[in-house]
Amino acid sequence: MVKPFQKPKIILDTDPGGDDIFALLWLQSLIRQGLAELVAVTTAEGNISARQTFATASKLLKLGGISDVEVGKGVAVVAPGWGDAAHIHGSDGMGNLSHRLPDGDHEYETARNSDEILIEALHQYPGEITILAIAPFTNLAAAATKSPGILRQAREIVLMAGAFRRAGNVTPQAEFNVAYNPPAAQTVLASRNDIVILPLDVTHQLIFTEAMLRSVLEVNPNHAIAQLMHSLCRFMTSTALTYRETQGMAGFLVHDAATVGYLFYPEMFCWQRAQVVVETQGVWTTGQTVIDARHGAKSGANAWVATQVNAAAFFMSLLEDLKVLVRD
């Protein structure tokens, strides 16, 4: 007997910011299509300050017509391992374009902390919540510390994190989400044995271009979301070229959207079962994600690490779903 389709319940842990915005827009399209339920957006400090990630998330939810979703404010990081990325993404995380968006409906001062929302939701829906974590992992680690074992109550935890067989993007070894708070990343990796990781090795193949976006804009170029994507695409392409992220190609990397792609289109990825830890003490390697590639039994395997992605299929799926957002 075929089981009826059940919409996945999702918590998006994010620091919008840059490509986080495209991940959230993709998720909003899937919600509009009746394919997902967004339980909460738990914001984190990372790309920009906690207050600003909260404000940006609230604005984007208002733009997408789902302001009823709760937004959490990020848990403070006492000693971040890396500075924020406001110099790359702008003070609002979106190239200072946020003034074009409607004011959000959420109040930072009265909002609950993100770790509190995670704990409550995981208790309320044990085994049902998928956490898409596309920010530094401070909120998840805080929840695990405050309520030991709570992350095992998630159906699945999907991270945009790490670099294994390629260079990092903030140090020679470390990827930003891990480098910003290495102990938090290690806490999350130690929380269960089936963490899903989308690393730079895969996401560096996902270069979004203005030519790709054109097919979305043609549907309804005057739609507010279409105009936002167009402006953001131009800004992020300029930034990516400045920081030499795309080997000279006029486009930008959508690292974080890979988590959404995996959850709804898993056939696009290949995987390696792995034992992964985070270096938290190194002088030159703090924030490095280390994979045990030795030939031998991996009794401590704790993760599934993406090794390949069908980029053409990924962008076909992303673009077709984004068209849904601009059709009304």
- Render each residue's pLDDT in the chain as its tens digit; 328 residues: 556 678 999 999 999 988 999 999 999 999 999 999 999 999 999 989 999 999 999 999 999 999 999 999 999 998 777 777 788 888 888 888 888 889 999 999 999 999 999 999 999 999 999 999 999 999 999 999 999 999 999 999 999 999 999 999 999 999 999 999 999 999 999 999 999 999 999 999 999 999 999 999 999 999 999 999 999 999 999 999 998 999 899 999 999 999 999 999 999 999 999 999 999 999 999 999 999 888 888 888 999 999 999 999 999 999 999 999 999 7
- DSSP letter at 194 equals -
203 φ, ψ (degrees, to nearest 5)? -70, -20
4 in a domain, yes or no? no
Q: Which of 89, 223, 255, 295 is catalytic?
A: 255
Structure tokens at 322: 């984004």
* pLDDT reported for residue 4: 65
Residue type present at position 222: N
The amino acid that residue 158 corresponds to is V
pLDDT value of position 328: 76
In a domain, 2, yes or no: no
Phi, psi of 155 (to 5 degrees): -65, -40
CA distance 140 to 154: 11
Residue 3 falls inside a structural domain: no
Which pLDDT score, from 0 to 100, does residue 143 have?
A: 98
Amino acid at the residue 183: P
Euclidean distance between CA atoms 312 and 315, whole angstroms: 5
Catalytic residue list contains 255:
yes
In a domain, 1, yes or no: no
The number of angstroms, rounded, from the C-alpha of 326 to the middle of its chain's C-alpha atoms is 22
Count of CA atoms in the C-beta half-sphere (13 A) of 76: 2
Whether 287 and 168 have beta carbons less than 8 Å apart is answered as yes
Separation of alpha carbons 76 and 60, rounded Å = 22
The answer to the question of residue 217 being in a domain is yes
Nearest Cα to Cα of residue 182 among 168, 201, 165: 168
Q: What is the DSSP letter of 173?
A: S
Domain count, the chain: 1
Please give the single-letter amino acid code of residue 217. L
pLDDT on residue 85: 77
Q: Which domain holds residue 290?
A: 9-325
In the chain, count of helices (H) and strands (E)? 12, 12
CATH number reported for the structural domain that contains residue 126 in this entry:
3.90.245.10
